[in-house]
Amino acid sequence: MPTTLVLSRQPLASRPLQEWVDDPADSVVLFTTEQAVAGAEDELAKYFPRHHLVADYHSWTAEAAAEQAARAFGVDRIACTSEHDVLRAARLRARLGLPGQQPASAAAYRDKVLMKQLAEQAGLAVPAFAAVDDPLDLLDFVDAVGFPVVVKPRSGCGSVGVHVLRDREGLEHFLAGEPESALPFLPGLWMAESFVTGELCHVDGVMADGRIVHAWPGQYSSGVAEYLAADTFISSVLLAAEDPRRAVLMAFAAELIAALPAAPDPIAFHLEAWICPDGRVVLCEIASRAGGALIAETYERAFGVHLAREGLRLQCGSEPTIGGQPAELERPNGWLMIPPGFGRFTPPAERCPVPGVDLTVQLAAGAVGHGVGKASNTAARALVSGATADEVRRRIDEVVAWWQRNASWS
């Protein structure tokens, strides 16, 4: 079993890495933060006797410390669980001469400008786009394509920092927000895209050496940006095998993965794309990690494989538990995220009565809601199954209606 340096800033209480990897005490060196292991000291001592804790995970000193830890423990592999670590892990592999995804591949799956340049060169449809290194770049882009325009971080995730500029007032508001922006308005950090109208879909699975190993598509009810901006419900349903969009999305995913610099070893991926009214598939983005929200859990219920866990195991050099590409959807599934409202929360008095629904309320009675704020903020989450994809969609609608009748914010 190789020794792997695992980069993770997630709390062990919510992401039990000791249950995800094989023989963690003997095979893993955990690189994490003091906050992530707070309250899990016993687990740290038992499962990760070899570890390195840092105070500021995203600092330059932390990256240097990760290299020092890798050399000190003589690791054979570098693995990560977060998109924020994809490029860091790739740089460490290159510097130490270790196998796995290298910087050219990681950059193509992180930098949305480079990603779209490579996709466009391969003949795949992308929105009109441009790097935004100064305000004049944004003004030029608006003049060229008109409103609405989407401005986003080039290496962002979870729709953090995404702005939809619908008119001149929205443009001026974005420019005026520079002093308070969490991401500096600096060259190399921002981009602009034309607004795309269509069904936002996703394809999730495992890829290796420029090809799909195992994957399946689904359709969102809306984008995460809309979830953040409008404090609305967001859900997704895996497409039925006979749904004609499934083959179209799988073909698009295969072409895109073949067009980007390949990761030689198997890793998880998450693709988002629109199916437009004219039938075109247009790239939103692709990441070389498992999808967020409840995508991994839904995939596990459908195919018996938790993509985030499988993705980490594969980076650690473990044998895959995933088989070949499925031809059928083994269990129709979907998920729902319910946003926090504004004010003091009163949860439903009864359990959700909709069949096939596993709903978890995540806020305590009396908690004060301030809206969504970020994608991980939810009042409740639900995994939903049914006999067909259409039944899953109907049940999600029933859960939303039930919640709106029975939960309140005052």
Tens of pLDDT along the chain (410 residues) come to 789 999 999 998 888 999 999 999 999 999 999 999 999 999 999 999 999 999 999 999 999 999 999 999 999 999 998 888 999 999 999 999 999 999 999 999 999 999 999 999 999 999 999 999 999 999 999 999 999 999 999 987 766 788 999 999 999 999 998 888 888 898 899 999 999 999 999 999 999 999 999 999 999 986 555 544 555 789 999 999 999 999 999 999 999 999 999 999 999 999 999 999 999 999 999 999 999 999 999 999 999 999 999 999 999 999 888 888 888 888 899 999 998 989 999 999 999 999 999 999 999 999 998 887 666 678 999 999 999 999 999 999 999 999 999 999 99
Say if CB 285 and CB 112 are below 8 A apart: yes
80-93 core/surface letters (b: 16 or more CB in 10 A; e: else): bbbbbbbbbbbbbb
The enclosing H or E element of 119 equals helix 112-121
Say if CB 281 and CB 202 are below 8 A apart: no
Domains, the chain, ordered by start: 4-99 (3.40.50.20), 128-194 (3.30.1490.20), 199-409 (3.30.470.20)
Give CA separation, 14 vs 36, 40, 377, in Å.
9, 10, 14
Cα distance between the two ends of the chain: 55
Predicted model pTM: 0.93
Name which of 220, 246, 387, 210 is nearest 327 in CA terms. Answer: 246
What are the structure tokens assigned to 177, written together?
């927000």
Name which of 252, 282, 281, 244 is nearest 269 in CA terms. Answer: 252
What are the structure tokens assigned to 148, written together?
């609405």
Name which of 20, 32, 95, 91 is nearest 58 in CA terms. Answer: 32
In 10 A of CB 58, how many CB atoms? 12
